[in-house]
Structure formats: structure tokens, C-alpha cells
Amino acid sequence: MWEKIVNFINASMKTIIATAIIVGITFVLFVIISVVGNRIIKKQRNKKKKAITLAKMIQSILRYVILILAIIIILSFWGVQVGPILAGAGIIGIVIGLGAQDLIKDLLSGFSIIFENHYDIDDIVEIKGFKGRVLDIGLKSTKLINWKNEVKIFTNGDIKDITNFSKNPSVGVVEVGISYYENIDKVIALLEEKLVVIKELFPQVIEGPNVLGVTSFTESAMIIRIIIKTEPERHYDVERAVRKYTKEIFDANGIKIPFPQMIVYHDDNKN
């Protein structure tokens, strides 16, 4: 057994060396593509998301092309007639048998995502209930990371419904309850006067805060709604600040934020 292996290695030494060289060249090319692509991405990180997305896509395409060429060259070194196989109908059956229909669907969907501008690198999107920032867009898959640093990978062919939160400004909504004994006009005027500071503190604010007024009544409170328009997906910390400042404004002016309560009446005249 060992003798046959040794004889095979001796007889195929040139082919083995040539194969190793091709594998080495492929690895070096992968590294070069990665380094050059990452430099381009780093330069564009704070400029154009579309340039980053295209750079990622080109990286993916080049890797596929180089890998396929390397496999074809290696097969030819080992005496496999690649030309007739590629030209013949037999390769179609092999490709379909290996599940290439799904691969082709993923590749076409990847091109569609890029060129129809569904989303770019660093966009905040929601796919199949998973909301996160786009880390990577490849020919075959899309990678998202959420605020808990959980990473999820979706094959492009399975991506049907997409919600992109980065296309338009976000609207933050804050609702606060006040007692039925409070003067509504006075409270609204006070909030409009004092909450102006929010726009000075948070440069991502585009418009507001705007006090819309009373939007609903609950068992123990009148609900006042405040909205703030911000840059895409940058409204969360602004909402928290509005709640904090609203509480401080109410405390400083003696305005009560009611809590659920129950009043029980006792009839002393009942027999």
C-alpha cells in the first residue's frame, strides 16, 4: 500500500508541485484583494456607503473568478479535459445536481440588491424580523449585526421583504402623562419653551422637538405627545434626553405626572 503511494507521489511530483504553486498564487491573490479592498473601504468609511458596497461586491466577484480559474487550471494539470466538460451538457447536470440553482438565485439576488440600491454597507435594515447594521454584502449572502453584537447571515435568494431604516430621517416619539388638574395650554407652552435646548445639545436633530398636544386620555392621565425628527436611526438617545428634561421641567414647575390609582368610597349611611 505504502509502496503504491510512494510510486504515485514520485510519478506525479511535477504535477503536485504545480498544484501547490497554483494554490499558493491563489492564496496570495486573495490576500492582495483583501488588503486593497480594505484600504479602499477604510478611505470611504466616512464618505460614501455606495463606494464601500461596490468595493465589497468587487472583492466577492474577484474571489469567485480566481477560485474557479484555479480549479480549472489544477484539473488540467491532472489530465482532466476541462474544455469538453465545460462545453458538454454533462456539466449542466452536475451543476444542477450540486444545487447550483440556489447558488444562481443567490448571485442574481445579490446583483439586484446592489444595483437596485436596496441597501448599502452600514445601513440599518430589518430582514425576517432581525434588525441590524449591514456588515457585509456578498454575491451569495448578506451579514447583519444587531445592537447586542449578534451576527446573522442571510442568503441573498431568501431575502424577500426588507425594511431599510437608513433611507429617510427617523422620527422619535415621546409620550408623557399629566394630571387632569393641570392646565394643558400652560404645560404645552412650557415644554415648547424649555425643550428647545435639545436641538442645541444633539446635532443629529433635524427638526423639533415639536409638542403636538394631547393625543389620548387614560384612566389617570392626559397624554401629551412630543416628536423629534433626526438623522436616520439616531433618535434613541434624543428620546431618552427628552424624557429626562421633561421630568426635570415638570419637577421644577410643580407639574404632576400621575400614576394609576383607585379611589374607594365608603357609604356611612348604608344600613
Beta bridge partners, 35, equal none
Residue 89's pLDDT is: 47
Beta bridge partners, 258, equal none
219-229 pLDDT, tens per residue? 889 999 999 99
In three-state secondary structure terms, 261 is coil
121-176 pLDDT, tens per residue? 889 999 999 999 998 887 788 999 999 999 999 998 888 889 999 889 999 999 99
User: With the C-alpha atoms ordered 80, 82, 87, 93, is the resulting torsion angle positive or negative?
Assistant: positive
Residue 80's pLDDT is: 72
CA distance 193 to 227: 15
Counting Cβ atoms within 10 Å, is residue 241 exposed (0-12), middle (13-18) or buried (19+)? buried
Contact between residue 243 and residue 257 where contact means Cβ atoms under 8 Å apart: no
Amino acid symbol at 171: V
Closest CA to 177 of 164, 168, 187: 187
85-134 pLDDT, tens per residue? 555 545 555 555 555 566 677 777 877 887 778 888 889 999 999 999 99
